[in-house]
Amino acid sequence: MKSAAELAAEQAAYWNGPGGQGWLAAYQRIQRAIGEIGEIGLSAAAAQTGEHAIDIGCGTGDTTAALARAVGLTGHVLGVDISEPLIAAARTHRLDNASFVVGDAATHTFQSAHYDLVFSRFGVMFFADPVAAFRNIRRALKPQGRLVFIAWRTPQENPWGTVPMRAAQPFLPPQPRPGPEDPGQFAFGDRARVERILGDAGFRALRFEPIDRQIWMGDSVAEVVAGADRFGPLARAFAGAEPAAIEKARQAIADVLAPHQGADGVRLPGACWLVRANAS
Ligand SMILES: C[S@@+](CC[C@H](N)C(=O)[O-])C[C@H]1O[C@@H](n2cnc3c(N)ncnc32)[C@H](O)[C@@H]1O
């Protein structure tokens, strides 16, 4: 079993390396896929004029920019992300009332009891020691502050993330299988675990709302297949495979996705938690 320090180092290397580069390269498509879910999170966060907010794992900063619009010039938003290339992209927003910092949200020294809101769109599932991370985040909130984030539910409830991989797997080199509690995109699928993490970190009044949507994966199967090596677990699996094996894997993905092609593109079910909690 890997130590928390090893897991944290792996995440930092991934998001500063292939993960960050892949996210950037695929970002317009990703935004099309998750934009609506992000809007649900932002509307639940209900940032108000003059508030101070943090956007955890802010990536390219689109949600930070949305929060900055909501808090106005009397408020301020801090976007924090462990990935240098993603923060470099976020800084191009050039916002007067937001700043961006490269840092590990689990250990970053935030101004204590200063923030009204901590928000995240899919940026809180990558902590090696989530209780310690959320304790650190909670310290940044005022006693009446609130936490609002979006996280994927279980892999079983997210065929958009599992169906292509399962089809391709027989043709690709075996991949390390993350443990159910290892950091990763589906690490917060188990509601009971997230309740434990947030409760142990001191959060109160936890509220979980399931959000179910058909996730857009591309306009056509060919487009999804062509982009399969750009980001995520498939990109990692493709990286170590022979060209002939990759061809077979691409064909298998095309076959499994064909029934999901509709007039509005290729879509598969996706499932998230909208999580809300109070700092005290
Ligand atoms: C799935 S992406 C989401 C990005 C962004 N929130 C969005 O929705 O576009 C996850 C983000 O979390 C960041 N991240 C991962 N671990 C982190 C940590 N310990 N501290 C801060 N950011 C982290 C990654 O670099 C990445 O930008």
**Cβ atoms within 10 Å of 232's Cβ, excluding its own:** 19
* Rg (alpha carbons) of the chain, rounded to whole number: 19
Q: Which of 271, 26, 33, 233 is nearest to 150 (CA)?
A: 271
Residue 202 lies in a domain: yes
Residue 260 lies in a domain: no
For the ranges 21-30, 165-174, 229-238, the lowest mean pLDDT is seen at 229-238
Q: What is the pLDDT of residue 96?
A: 96
Q: What is the pLDDT of residue 237?
A: 87
Confidence of residue 178 (pLDDT cuts 50, 70, 90): confident
User: Pocket of ligand 1, candidates 10, 82, 109, 148: which has the most ligand atoms within 8 Å of its Cβ, to mutate?
Assistant: 82
Residue 244 lies in a domain: no
Going by alpha carbons, the residue nearest to atom 14 of ligand 1 is 57
Q: What is the pLDDT of residue 78?
A: 98
**106 CB within 6 A, ligand 1:** yes
Q: What is the pLDDT of residue 180?
A: 78
Residue 121 lies in a domain: yes
Q: What is the pLDDT of residue 246?
A: 93
* Cα 82 to ligand 1 centre (Å): 7
Q: What is the pLDDT of residue 175?
A: 83
Long-range (24+ apart) CB contacts under 8 A made by 232-238 are 232/22, 232/161, 232/185, 233/165, 233/175, 234/164, 234/165, 234/168, 235/18, 235/22, 236/18, 236/175, 237/165, 237/168, 237/169, 237/172, 237/173, 237/175, 238/172
Residue 240 lies in a domain: no
**87 CB within 6 A, ligand 1:** no
Domain count, the chain: 1
Q: Which atom of ligand 1 is nearest to the CA of 23?
A: 2
Residue 155 vs residues 83, 162, 174, 188, 215: alpha-carbon distances, Å: 25, 6, 18, 10, 14
Q: What is the pLDDT of residue 6?
A: 93
- Residue 23's domain spans which residues? 4-155+181-213+267-278
The whole-model pTM stands at 0.96
Note the pLDDT tens digit of each residue in 122-167: 999 999 999 999 999 999 999 999 999 999 999 999 999 999 999 9
**55 CB within 6 A, ligand 1:** no
* Cα 17 to ligand 1 centre (Å): 13
Q: Which atom of ligand 1 is nearest to the CA of 80?
A: 21
Note the pLDDT tens digit of each residue in 1-47: 889 999 999 999 999 999 999 999 999 999 999 999 999 999 999 99
Q: Is 93 a residue whose pLDDT tops 90?
A: yes
Residue 165 lies in a domain: no
Q: Is the dihedral of CA 71, 106, 146, 58 positive or negative?
A: positive
**125 CB within 6 A, ligand 1:** no
CATH number of the domain enclosing 119: 3.40.50.150
User: Pocket of ligand 1, candidates 14, 63, 81, 120: which has the most ligand atoms within 8 Å of its Cβ, to mutate?
Assistant: 81
Q: What is the pLDDT of residue 235?
A: 86
Going by alpha carbons, the residue nearest to atom 16 of ligand 1 is 126
Token pair, residue 72, equals 């106005």
Q: What is the pLDDT of residue 176?
A: 81
Mean predicted lDDT score pLDDT of the chain:
96
Which amino acid makes up residue 78?
L
